[in-house]
Amino acid sequence: MRILALYNIKGGVGKTAGSVNLAWLAASHGYRTLLWDLDPQAAASFYFRIQPKVAGGGEELVVGKTNISDIVKSTSFKNLDLLPADFSYRNLDLMLAADSKPAMQLMRLLRPLSSLYDLLILDCPPSISLVSENIFRAADALLVPVIPTTLSVRTYEQLLEFLANNQLTDLAPTFPYFSMVDLRKRLHKRTTEKLPQMYPEMLSTQIPNASDIERMGVMRAPVGVYAPNGAGGVAFNNLWQEIREKLAL
């Protein structure tokens, strides 16, 4: 099982849109896929019409009382399961901190899933915390949506600094990609031209700012279900192909 985390310290950059669409695309290409909604806001669970509730909450999960495969829900799509969020995940940091090896705990929890799925996608909450450190250790790659503005670029630099300061750079390679791109804006145009020169790990697919993607909240489905040939659907398909090739999935 390969593990991809959609991660950014910054909120509202397209992590959930990326997780939901990439998970759906992977599943529709035959990968047995599990999407874990780690955000107490439960947006990914909402998109798949799954109740954000975990019996026993985060606490029983973290201490090992809940078997993780018992809380998996199937979606209405073939090959695609979801681990729903729970409101108690807002305290996941405290729950993890109570453990003797808090930074390794997520990996331990995930072990029983490894033979059941080809791909695990983590939809992460926007913060940098003990939960994120667990994610960095468990994930094979961090996919980082970056809006081409100065502040968003700055948070990518902060992530790289954090990884370097904690000896995590090799453990969690980062693959940033541009999200919510509007090339009519000068700043977006300039940033999308300049940044890949500074960061060669940047993926070449750009996700445009597209009303089709925004409509996911109304349709409650991945964009490829209702608008596969629109700008958003095509871009996510390209992103999936690029990731699949780059990571040899």
Kindly list the residues in this chain that would bind Mg ion in the complex (CB under 5 A). 15-16, 43
Q: How far apart are CA 157 and CA 31, in angstroms?
A: 32
- Determine, following the binding rule CB under 6 A, whether residue 216 of this chain makes contact with ligand ATP: yes
Q: Please tell me the chain's helix, strand, coil percentages from 3-state DSSP, rounded to the nearest 5.
A: 45, 15, 35
| Nearest CB to ligand ATP, comparing residues 15 and 188 | 15
Our finding on whether 26 is near ligand ATP (CB under 6 A) is no
Q: Which does 61 bind (CB under 5 to 8 A by kind): ligand ATP, Mg ion, none?
A: none
What residues from 99 to 158 belong to the interface with ligand ATP (CB under 6 A)?
A: 126
Residue (of 83, 94, 75, 4) closest to 38 by Cα position: 83
Q: Cα separation of 172 and 182, whole Å?
A: 29
Q: Does 17 bind ligand ATP (CB under 6 A)?
A: yes
Q: Length of the chain in residues, anyone?
A: 249
The minimum distance between CB 117 and ligand ATP, in angstroms, equals 22
Q: Which helix (H) or strand (E) holds 63?
A: none
188 is a contact residue toward ligand ATP (CB under 6 A) = no
Which of 167, 132, 163 shows the shortest CA–CA distance to 6? 132
Alpha helices in the chain (DSSP H): 15-28, 43-47, 57-62, 92-97, 105-110, 130-138, 150-165, 186-198, 211-214, 216-219, 223-226, 231-246
Answer yes or no whether residue 207 interacts with ligand ATP by CB under 6 A.
yes
Quick one: which of 209, 221, 222, 237 contacts ligand ATP (CB under 6 A)?
Answer: 209
Which phi and psi (to 5°) does residue 98 adopt? -75, -10
Q: Which of 180, 202, 203, 243 binds ligand ATP (CB under 6 A)?
A: 180
Residue 13 as a binder of ligand ATP (CB under 6 A): the answer is yes
For ligand ATP, which residue of 9, 43, 80, 143 counts as binding (CB under 6 A)?
Answer: 43
Residue numbers at the binding site for ligand ATP (CB under 6 A): 11-17, 39, 41, 43, 126, 179-180, 207, 209-210, 213-214, 216-217
